[in-house]
Amino acid sequence: MKFNFRKSISLTVLCFMAFISLEGLYGLQVEGLYSSRVLVDNESDSERNRAFQEAFKDVIIKLTGSDSWLNEPAIERAISEAQSYVEAIQYESRGGNQIIEQGLNGSEVINGESFIEVTFASSLVQELLSNAKVPIWGSNRPSVLIWMVLQDPSGNRTLLTAESNPEISNLIRNFAEFRAIPIIFPVLDFEDRNNLSEEDVWVLDSQKIVKASARYGADSILSGRLHFTSGGELIGLWQFIFQNEIDVFDGVEENLNNYLTVPLNRVANSLSSYFAVVAGSIPQETVSLKVEGIRNLKAYTSLMNYVSGLGAVHSVKTSILDRGTLQLELELLGNTAQLSELIGLDRDLVPVQAFRSENVEVLHYRWTR
Protein backbone atom coordinates (compact mmCIF):
# COMPACT_ATOMS: atom_id res chain seq x y z
CA MET A 1 0.00 0.00 0.00
CA LYS A 2 1.51 3.33 -1.03
CA PHE A 3 0.70 6.70 0.48
CA ASN A 4 1.49 10.14 -0.83
CA PHE A 5 2.71 12.47 1.91
CA ARG A 6 3.04 15.49 -0.41
CA LYS A 7 1.71 18.73 1.09
CA SER A 8 -1.02 20.77 -0.56
CA ILE A 9 -3.76 23.23 0.36
CA SER A 10 -7.41 22.30 -0.02
CA LEU A 11 -10.83 22.78 1.49
CA THR A 12 -13.43 20.11 1.30
CA VAL A 13 -16.75 20.36 3.06
CA LEU A 14 -18.85 17.27 2.62
CA CYS A 15 -22.59 17.25 2.94
CA PHE A 16 -23.23 14.58 0.33
CA MET A 17 -20.44 16.04 -1.79
CA ALA A 18 -21.72 19.61 -1.67
CA PHE A 19 -19.05 22.33 -1.46
CA ILE A 20 -19.80 25.46 0.54
CA SER A 21 -17.85 28.45 1.81
CA LEU A 22 -16.36 28.75 5.29
CA GLU A 23 -18.62 31.65 6.21
CA GLY A 24 -21.57 30.51 8.31
CA LEU A 25 -20.46 26.89 8.58
CA TYR A 26 -22.37 25.27 11.42
CA GLY A 27 -24.90 22.45 11.46
CA LEU A 28 -25.80 21.40 7.95
CA GLN A 29 -28.85 19.93 6.24
CA VAL A 30 -28.19 16.48 4.84
CA GLU A 31 -30.22 14.96 2.02
CA GLY A 32 -31.00 11.48 0.81
CA LEU A 33 -31.86 10.07 4.24
CA TYR A 34 -34.53 7.82 2.72
CA SER A 35 -32.51 6.65 -0.29
CA SER A 36 -29.62 4.27 -0.83
CA ARG A 37 -27.61 3.08 -3.83
CA VAL A 38 -26.76 -0.65 -3.95
CA LEU A 39 -24.62 -2.68 -6.37
CA VAL A 40 -26.63 -5.41 -8.15
CA ASP A 41 -25.58 -8.43 -10.25
CA ASN A 42 -28.75 -8.71 -12.31
CA GLU A 43 -32.43 -7.78 -12.35
CA SER A 44 -33.91 -10.97 -11.02
CA ASP A 45 -36.59 -10.80 -8.34
CA SER A 46 -34.29 -12.38 -5.78
CA GLU A 47 -31.47 -9.93 -6.49
CA ARG A 48 -33.86 -6.99 -6.37
CA ASN A 49 -35.26 -8.12 -3.02
CA ARG A 50 -31.73 -8.51 -1.68
CA ALA A 51 -30.93 -4.97 -2.82
CA PHE A 52 -34.12 -3.66 -1.18
CA GLN A 53 -33.07 -5.20 2.13
CA GLU A 54 -29.52 -3.84 1.90
CA ALA A 55 -30.79 -0.38 0.99
CA PHE A 56 -33.32 -0.47 3.83
CA LYS A 57 -30.56 -1.29 6.32
CA ASP A 58 -28.56 1.68 5.02
CA VAL A 59 -31.53 4.00 5.46
CA ILE A 60 -32.20 2.78 9.02
CA ILE A 61 -28.56 3.40 9.92
CA LYS A 62 -28.63 6.91 8.41
CA LEU A 63 -31.88 7.82 10.16
CA THR A 64 -30.89 6.50 13.58
CA GLY A 65 -27.16 7.16 13.44
CA SER A 66 -26.31 3.65 14.63
CA ASP A 67 -26.30 0.11 13.24
CA SER A 68 -27.30 -1.31 16.64
CA TRP A 69 -31.00 -0.74 15.85
CA LEU A 70 -30.84 -3.29 13.03
CA ASN A 71 -31.10 -5.99 15.72
CA GLU A 72 -34.39 -4.62 17.05
CA PRO A 73 -37.05 -7.33 16.38
CA ALA A 74 -39.49 -4.89 14.74
CA ILE A 75 -36.70 -3.55 12.51
CA GLU A 76 -35.54 -7.05 11.58
CA ARG A 77 -39.08 -7.93 10.48
CA ALA A 78 -39.35 -4.73 8.46
CA ILE A 79 -36.02 -5.43 6.72
CA SER A 80 -37.31 -8.83 5.61
CA GLU A 81 -40.34 -7.02 4.15
CA ALA A 82 -38.37 -4.06 2.76
CA GLN A 83 -40.27 -4.04 -0.54
CA SER A 84 -43.38 -2.88 1.35
CA TYR A 85 -41.62 0.39 2.17
CA VAL A 86 -40.23 1.11 -1.31
CA GLU A 87 -41.49 4.27 -2.97
CA ALA A 88 -39.36 4.33 -6.13
CA ILE A 89 -36.33 2.70 -7.72
CA GLN A 90 -33.91 3.64 -10.47
CA TYR A 91 -31.31 1.47 -12.16
CA GLU A 92 -28.07 3.03 -13.39
CA SER A 93 -25.09 1.80 -15.33
CA ARG A 94 -21.65 2.01 -13.74
CA GLY A 95 -21.00 5.40 -15.35
CA GLY A 96 -24.11 6.82 -13.71
CA ASN A 97 -25.35 8.49 -16.90
CA GLN A 98 -27.63 5.89 -18.45
CA ILE A 99 -30.91 5.28 -16.64
CA ILE A 100 -31.96 1.71 -17.30
CA GLU A 101 -35.24 1.51 -15.38
CA GLN A 102 -37.55 3.72 -13.37
CA GLY A 103 -40.49 2.69 -11.24
CA LEU A 104 -41.31 -0.70 -9.76
CA ASN A 105 -42.61 -2.47 -12.87
CA GLY A 106 -40.82 -3.88 -15.90
CA SER A 107 -37.11 -4.56 -16.42
CA GLU A 108 -34.37 -4.68 -19.03
CA VAL A 109 -31.17 -6.66 -19.20
CA ILE A 110 -28.15 -4.68 -17.98
CA ASN A 111 -24.72 -5.59 -19.27
CA GLY A 112 -21.82 -4.97 -16.89
CA GLU A 113 -21.81 -3.56 -13.36
CA SER A 114 -25.00 -1.78 -12.33
CA PHE A 115 -26.56 -0.09 -9.35
CA ILE A 116 -30.07 0.37 -8.07
CA GLU A 117 -31.13 3.57 -6.30
CA VAL A 118 -33.90 2.74 -3.84
CA THR A 119 -36.07 5.43 -2.23
CA PHE A 120 -38.32 4.48 0.67
CA ALA A 121 -41.55 6.17 1.74
CA SER A 122 -40.57 8.54 4.55
CA SER A 123 -43.97 8.41 6.26
CA LEU A 124 -43.92 4.60 6.44
CA VAL A 125 -40.36 4.47 7.72
CA GLN A 126 -41.06 7.14 10.34
CA GLU A 127 -44.14 5.24 11.47
CA LEU A 128 -42.08 2.05 11.77
CA LEU A 129 -39.40 3.72 13.90
CA SER A 130 -41.97 5.54 16.03
CA ASN A 131 -43.93 2.36 16.77
CA ALA A 132 -40.68 0.53 17.59
CA LYS A 133 -39.61 3.38 19.92
CA VAL A 134 -36.44 3.85 17.91
CA PRO A 135 -34.97 7.40 18.03
CA ILE A 136 -34.75 9.33 14.76
CA TRP A 137 -31.91 11.72 13.97
CA GLY A 138 -33.19 14.71 11.99
CA SER A 139 -31.75 16.03 8.73
CA ASN A 140 -30.11 19.05 10.41
CA ARG A 141 -26.87 17.55 11.67
CA PRO A 142 -23.77 18.84 13.45
CA SER A 143 -20.64 19.26 11.38
CA VAL A 144 -17.40 17.47 12.23
CA LEU A 145 -14.05 19.16 11.57
CA ILE A 146 -11.20 16.68 11.05
CA TRP A 147 -7.55 17.39 11.83
CA MET A 148 -5.21 14.50 11.19
CA VAL A 149 -1.43 14.15 11.12
CA LEU A 150 0.30 11.23 9.40
CA GLN A 151 3.73 9.80 10.17
CA ASP A 152 5.44 7.57 7.63
CA PRO A 153 7.89 4.74 8.52
CA SER A 154 10.79 7.21 8.24
CA GLY A 155 9.29 9.48 10.91
CA ASN A 156 8.17 12.30 8.60
CA ARG A 157 4.91 13.96 9.70
CA THR A 158 2.40 15.82 7.55
CA LEU A 159 -1.09 17.15 8.09
CA LEU A 160 -3.81 15.38 6.13
CA THR A 161 -5.36 17.22 3.20
CA ALA A 162 -8.13 16.02 0.92
CA GLU A 163 -5.87 16.17 -2.14
CA SER A 164 -2.50 15.00 -0.84
CA ASN A 165 -3.89 11.81 0.70
CA PRO A 166 -6.88 10.83 -1.46
CA GLU A 167 -7.14 7.26 -0.14
CA ILE A 168 -7.71 8.38 3.44
CA SER A 169 -9.86 11.33 2.40
CA ASN A 170 -12.07 9.17 0.18
CA LEU A 171 -12.57 6.59 2.93
CA ILE A 172 -13.68 9.38 5.27
CA ARG A 173 -15.96 10.81 2.57
CA ASN A 174 -17.55 7.44 1.90
CA PHE A 175 -18.23 6.86 5.59
CA ALA A 176 -19.66 10.37 5.97
CA GLU A 177 -21.99 9.83 3.02
CA PHE A 178 -23.05 6.41 4.32
CA ARG A 179 -23.87 7.80 7.78
CA ALA A 180 -25.10 11.22 6.56
CA ILE A 181 -22.62 13.27 8.57
CA PRO A 182 -21.32 16.68 7.35
CA ILE A 183 -17.51 16.53 7.32
CA ILE A 184 -15.15 19.50 7.09
CA PHE A 185 -11.50 19.26 6.09
CA PRO A 186 -9.44 22.33 7.10
CA VAL A 187 -7.97 24.61 4.46
CA LEU A 188 -4.44 24.32 5.88
CA ASP A 189 -3.57 27.77 4.58
CA PHE A 190 -1.13 30.19 6.25
CA GLU A 191 -3.58 30.98 9.06
CA ASP A 192 -4.15 27.31 9.88
CA ARG A 193 -0.48 26.44 9.80
CA ASN A 194 0.38 29.48 11.90
CA ASN A 195 -2.20 28.42 14.52
CA LEU A 196 -1.59 24.69 14.48
CA SER A 197 1.49 22.62 13.69
CA GLU A 198 1.93 18.93 12.94
CA GLU A 199 3.34 18.52 16.44
CA ASP A 200 0.28 20.19 18.03
CA VAL A 201 -2.01 17.68 16.35
CA TRP A 202 0.34 14.79 17.07
CA VAL A 203 0.21 15.46 20.83
CA LEU A 204 -3.53 16.28 20.56
CA ASP A 205 -3.13 19.72 22.16
CA SER A 206 -6.83 20.38 22.74
CA GLN A 207 -6.47 24.09 23.51
CA LYS A 208 -4.57 24.85 20.31
CA ILE A 209 -6.86 22.60 18.27
CA VAL A 210 -9.99 24.33 19.57
CA LYS A 211 -8.46 27.76 18.92
CA ALA A 212 -7.43 26.85 15.35
CA SER A 213 -10.88 25.36 14.70
CA ALA A 214 -12.81 28.49 15.70
CA ARG A 215 -12.71 29.96 12.18
CA TYR A 216 -14.65 26.98 10.82
CA GLY A 217 -17.56 27.21 13.23
CA ALA A 218 -17.77 23.42 13.39
CA ASP A 219 -20.02 21.79 15.97
CA SER A 220 -17.48 19.11 16.88
CA ILE A 221 -13.80 18.33 16.27
CA LEU A 222 -12.12 14.99 15.58
CA SER A 223 -8.32 15.02 15.78
CA GLY A 224 -6.07 12.06 15.19
CA ARG A 225 -2.54 10.89 14.64
CA LEU A 226 -1.64 7.91 12.50
CA HIS A 227 1.71 6.16 12.37
CA PHE A 228 2.43 3.84 9.44
CA THR A 229 4.97 1.39 10.88
CA SER A 230 7.60 -0.42 8.83
CA GLY A 231 5.83 -3.67 9.74
CA GLY A 232 2.60 -2.55 8.11
CA GLU A 233 0.68 -1.75 11.27
CA LEU A 234 -1.38 1.39 11.73
CA ILE A 235 -1.00 2.84 15.23
CA GLY A 236 -2.59 6.02 16.43
CA LEU A 237 -4.52 8.06 18.92
CA TRP A 238 -7.80 9.99 18.53
CA GLN A 239 -9.48 12.88 20.30
CA PHE A 240 -13.13 13.89 19.86
CA ILE A 241 -14.32 17.25 21.24
CA PHE A 242 -18.06 17.89 21.55
CA GLN A 243 -20.02 19.96 24.07
CA ASN A 244 -16.73 20.91 25.79
CA GLU A 245 -16.18 17.22 26.55
CA ILE A 246 -12.98 15.49 25.39
CA ASP A 247 -12.94 11.80 24.50
CA VAL A 248 -9.50 10.27 23.84
CA PHE A 249 -9.08 6.73 22.51
CA ASP A 250 -6.41 4.73 20.68
CA GLY A 251 -6.41 2.59 17.57
CA VAL A 252 -4.28 -0.27 16.24
CA GLU A 253 -5.10 -1.96 12.92
CA GLU A 254 -3.50 -3.44 9.82
CA ASN A 255 -6.33 -2.37 7.53
CA LEU A 256 -6.74 1.36 6.80
CA ASN A 257 -10.50 1.17 6.31
CA ASN A 258 -10.96 -0.56 9.67
CA TYR A 259 -8.63 1.92 11.34
CA LEU A 260 -10.70 4.89 10.17
CA THR A 261 -14.09 3.24 10.70
CA VAL A 262 -13.65 2.84 14.47
CA PRO A 263 -13.28 6.57 15.34
CA LEU A 264 -15.84 7.66 12.75
CA ASN A 265 -18.34 5.15 14.13
CA ARG A 266 -17.66 6.44 17.61
CA VAL A 267 -18.31 10.02 16.48
CA ALA A 268 -21.54 9.10 14.66
CA ASN A 269 -22.85 7.16 17.65
CA SER A 270 -21.99 9.98 20.03
CA LEU A 271 -23.73 12.66 17.97
CA SER A 272 -26.80 10.56 17.18
CA SER A 273 -27.27 9.53 20.80
CA TYR A 274 -27.29 13.21 21.74
CA PHE A 275 -29.64 14.54 19.05
CA ALA A 276 -31.89 11.62 18.08
CA VAL A 277 -35.32 11.46 19.74
CA VAL A 278 -38.18 8.98 19.69
CA ALA A 279 -41.10 10.36 17.69
CA GLY A 280 -44.46 10.03 19.38
CA SER A 281 -43.03 9.56 22.86
CA ILE A 282 -44.37 11.36 25.93
CA PRO A 283 -43.16 15.00 26.28
CA GLN A 284 -40.46 15.37 28.91
CA GLU A 285 -40.34 19.14 29.45
CA THR A 286 -42.18 22.37 28.65
CA VAL A 287 -40.36 25.56 27.74
CA SER A 288 -41.31 29.05 26.54
CA LEU A 289 -39.63 30.39 23.42
CA LYS A 290 -39.66 34.17 22.96
CA VAL A 291 -38.73 35.27 19.43
CA GLU A 292 -38.16 38.82 18.17
CA GLY A 293 -38.18 39.88 14.51
CA ILE A 294 -41.54 38.41 13.44
CA ARG A 295 -42.71 41.34 11.32
CA ASN A 296 -45.02 39.69 8.82
CA LEU A 297 -46.96 36.55 7.98
CA LYS A 298 -44.08 35.09 5.99
CA ALA A 299 -41.73 35.31 8.99
CA TYR A 300 -44.41 33.86 11.26
CA THR A 301 -45.03 30.92 8.93
CA SER A 302 -41.32 30.25 8.46
CA LEU A 303 -40.70 30.30 12.20
CA MET A 304 -43.59 27.97 12.97
CA ASN A 305 -42.48 25.51 10.27
CA TYR A 306 -38.93 25.68 11.56
CA VAL A 307 -39.78 25.12 15.23
CA SER A 308 -42.27 22.35 14.45
CA GLY A 309 -39.58 20.57 12.42
CA LEU A 310 -37.08 20.42 15.26
CA GLY A 311 -36.71 16.81 16.34
CA ALA A 312 -36.92 17.58 20.05
CA VAL A 313 -40.25 19.45 19.74
CA HIS A 314 -43.47 17.49 20.33
CA SER A 315 -45.98 20.34 20.03
CA VAL A 316 -46.06 24.13 19.53
CA LYS A 317 -48.63 26.59 20.85
CA THR A 318 -48.68 30.35 20.29
CA SER A 319 -49.28 32.28 23.50
CA ILE A 320 -48.33 35.92 22.77
CA LEU A 321 -47.78 37.98 19.62
CA ASP A 322 -46.99 41.64 20.24
CA ARG A 323 -45.12 44.17 18.08
CA GLY A 324 -43.02 41.70 16.23
CA THR A 325 -42.32 39.49 19.24
CA LEU A 326 -43.82 36.03 19.38
CA GLN A 327 -43.90 33.77 22.42
CA LEU A 328 -44.37 30.04 21.94
CA GLU A 329 -45.03 27.27 24.42
CA LEU A 330 -43.15 24.11 23.43
CA GLU A 331 -43.58 20.57 24.69
CA LEU A 332 -40.27 18.74 24.29
CA LEU A 333 -39.47 15.10 23.66
CA GLY A 334 -35.95 15.81 24.84
CA ASN A 335 -34.76 18.51 27.22
CA THR A 336 -34.14 22.26 27.06
CA ALA A 337 -30.39 21.83 26.57
CA GLN A 338 -30.98 19.56 23.59
CA LEU A 339 -33.41 22.07 22.09
CA SER A 340 -30.84 24.85 22.48
CA GLU A 341 -28.23 22.74 20.71
CA LEU A 342 -30.58 21.95 17.83
CA ILE A 343 -31.39 25.64 17.41
CA GLY A 344 -27.69 26.44 17.58
CA LEU A 345 -26.95 24.19 14.60
CA ASP A 346 -28.84 26.54 12.25
CA ARG A 347 -28.23 30.14 13.37
CA ASP A 348 -31.69 31.10 12.08
CA LEU A 349 -32.44 31.98 15.69
CA VAL A 350 -29.82 34.16 17.39
CA PRO A 351 -29.86 34.00 21.21
CA VAL A 352 -30.70 37.20 23.05
CA GLN A 353 -30.99 36.20 26.70
CA ALA A 354 -32.64 33.40 28.61
CA PHE A 355 -34.62 34.23 31.74
CA ARG A 356 -37.28 32.83 34.07
CA SER A 357 -40.87 34.04 34.26
CA GLU A 358 -43.31 32.63 36.81
CA ASN A 359 -41.03 29.64 37.44
CA VAL A 360 -40.95 28.83 33.70
CA GLU A 361 -37.70 29.03 31.76
CA VAL A 362 -37.95 31.36 28.76
CA LEU A 363 -35.51 31.04 25.85
CA HIS A 364 -35.12 34.42 24.14
CA TYR A 365 -34.05 34.60 20.47
CA ARG A 366 -34.15 36.86 17.41
CA TRP A 367 -35.36 35.47 14.06
CA THR A 368 -32.83 36.22 11.30
CA ARG A 369 -34.05 34.32 8.27
3-state secondary structure 201-242: HHCCCHHHHHHHHHHHCCCEEEEEEEEECCCCCEEEEEEEEE
336 neighbors 322 (Cβ within 8 angstroms): no
| Structure confidence at residue 222 (pLDDT) | 96
Distance, in Å, from the CA atom of 150 to the CA atom of 172, rounded to the nearest integer, reads 15
Which of 82-96, 99-113, 255-269, 290-304 has the highest mean predicted lDDT (pLDDT)?
A: 255-269
Give the model's confidence band at 125: pLDDT under 50 very low, under 70 low, under 90 confident, else very high: very high
Q: Report the relative pairing of strands 285-292 and 360-367 from DSSP bridges.
A: parallel
- pLDDT, tens digit, for every residue of 56-72? 999 999 999 988 899 99
- pLDDT, tens digit, for every residue of 138-162? 888 889 999 999 998 888 999 998 7
| Structure confidence at residue 8 (pLDDT) | 29
| Structure confidence at residue 18 (pLDDT) | 32
Picking from 284, 295, 290, the residue whose alpha carbon sits closest to that of residue 336 is: 284
* E strand map for 2-159: 12-14, 28-29, 35-40, 86-93, 99-102, 114-120, 140-141, 144-151, 157-159
pTM of the model: 0.73
| Structure confidence at residue 359 (pLDDT) | 55
290 neighbors 325 (Cβ within 8 angstroms): yes
- pLDDT, tens digit, for every residue of 170-214? 999 999 988 999 999 999 999 999 999 999 999 999 999 999 999
The helix, strand and coil proportions of the chain, stated in percent and rounded to the nearest 5, come to: 35, 30, 35
On the 0-12 / 13-18 / 19+ scale of CB atoms within 10 A, 193 is: middle
What SS3 class is residue 314? Answer: strand
Give the model's confidence band at 282: pLDDT under 50 very low, under 70 low, under 90 confident, else very high: low
| Structure confidence at residue 355 (pLDDT) | 56
Q: Is the pLDDT of residue 113 over 80?
A: no
8-state DSSP, 16: S
| Pairwise pLDDT comparison (14 vs 84), residue with the higher score | 84
For residue 30, which amino acid is it?
A: V
Picking from 177, 87, 180, 173, the residue whose alpha carbon sits closest to that of residue 139 is: 180
| Structure confidence at residue 12 (pLDDT) | 34
**Topology annotation, domain 285-367:** Alpha-Beta Plaits (3.30.70)
| Structure confidence at residue 285 (pLDDT) | 77
Distance, in Å, from the CA atom of 225 to the CA atom of 235, rounded to the nearest integer, reads 8
| Structure confidence at residue 283 (pLDDT) | 65
| Pairwise pLDDT comparison (355 vs 114), residue with the higher score | 114
Give the model's confidence band at 33: pLDDT under 50 very low, under 70 low, under 90 confident, else very high: very high
| Pairwise pLDDT comparison (33 vs 8), residue with the higher score | 33
| Structure confidence at residue 17 (pLDDT) | 33
Question: How is the chain split into domains, by residue range?
Answer: 12-30+139-275, 35-131, 285-367
Q: Is the pLDDT of residue 275 over 70?
A: yes
| Structure confidence at residue 369 (pLDDT) | 78
**Topology annotation, domain 12-30+139-275:** Rossmann fold (3.40.50)
Q: Is the pLDDT of residue 107 over 50?
A: no
Q: Is the pLDDT of residue 321 over 70?
A: yes
| Pairwise pLDDT comparison (111 vs 19), residue with the higher score | 111
Residues 318-338, mean pLDDT to the nearest whole number: 79
| Structure confidence at residue 273 (pLDDT) | 86
Q: Report the relative pairing of strands 114-120 and 285-292 from DSSP bridges.
A: unpaired
How many residues does the structure list for the chain?
Answer: 369
* E strand map for 98-257: 99-102, 114-120, 140-141, 144-151, 157-159, 183-185, 220-228, 234-242, 245-253
Give the model's confidence band at 100: pLDDT under 50 very low, under 70 low, under 90 confident, else very high: very low
List phi, psi (to 5°) of 114. -140, 160
Mean pLDDT of the chain, nearest integer: 81
Q: Which residues lie below 8 Å from residue 52, measured CB to CB, with a gap of 6+?
A: 82, 83, 86, 118
